[in-house]
Amino acid sequence: NAGVMQNPRHLVRRRGQEARLRCSPMKGHSHVYWYRQLPEEGLKFMVYLQKENIIDESGMPKERFSAEFPKEGPSILRIQQVVRGDSAAYFCASSPPRQNSNQPQHFGDGTRLSIL
């Protein structure tokens, strides 16, 4: 009964490198959300995806950030040319296909990204 799986749990990158964060949703879940939590702040929505589709990316920075959720495999959040300000905890959440908004999201334990 695996929950939402995120890897790696911790990722260290130097400025200018690329960071790839992976998220496998719960079994039967086809909706994936990515959130970022900066120190002492709440969860900031980044992007909402369904299989092979980006539904809402209004929270994504315009440059360097991209996300995908392919037909097969995990969802990937990709950050190119990382900068110190990208250091944060990145959480993935999933939910099942739904008929209404009354479906709580299930979260992974996050990836802590540190930029040197």
Partner 1 sequence: DQQVKQNSPSLSVQEGRISILNCDYTNSMFDYFLWYKKYPAEGPTFLISISSIKDKNEDGRFTVFLNKSAKHLSLHIVPSQPGDSAVYFCAASFTTSGTYKYIFGTGTRLKVLA
- Closest distance to partner 1 from the beta carbon of 61 (Å): 17
Distance CA 73, CA 23 (A): 9
Does position 39 bind partner 1 by CB under 8 A? no
Q: Which stretch binds partner 1 (CB under 8 A): 61-69, 70-78, 79-87, 98-106?
A: 98-106
Distance CA 47, CA 90 (A): 12
CA dihedral 70, 15, 17, 88 (to 10 degrees): -20
**Interaction site with partner 1 (CB under 8 A):** 4, 6, 33, 35, 41-45, 48, 55-56, 91, 93, 98, 100-110
